[in-house]
Copies of this chain bind each other. A is one copy, B any other.
Amino acid sequence: MHFYGLIGNLSAKKGKGDQLVKLLIEASKILEGHEECIQYIIAQESNNKDIIWVTEIWTSKKAHDASLQLPAIKSIIAEAMPIIEETNGLGAETVPIGGVAKNPFVDSKE
């Protein structure tokens, strides 16, 4: 199976990193039920909480692009725009090949 990957980062306005993470987590809750969304992981840079990385894996580019049109996703994007300083566009488009991919947010013993 051929996947579609995206690796990108967003810079939040100064001090807004945590707020942006919250919005992206909200978006991920919507995508959790989306069969074609395999990974949508949100991470903050260790030494700058206003830089947020989002690493995504989808079954196809088409599925990813369509998700941006979901009303619930569009409204989160609109809510996030005012607190985003800069994005590196879509980020790097990749083809995920293989590796270790356990779920850190479910399997780990809280």
Contacts and interface: CB of A to CB of B under 8 A. Distances in A.
A38 B1 contact: no
Nearest to A5: B43
Contact of A101 (B5, B9, B46, B105): B105
A7 B51 CA distance: 13
Interface of A: 1, 3, 5, 7, 9, 21, 24-25, 28, 31-32, 34, 37-47, 51, 53-55, 57, 59, 92-110
13 contacts: A3-B104, A5-B43, A38-B103, A38-B104, A42-B98, A42-B99, A43-B94, A45-B93, A46-B95, A53-B94, A101-B101, A101-B102, A102-B103
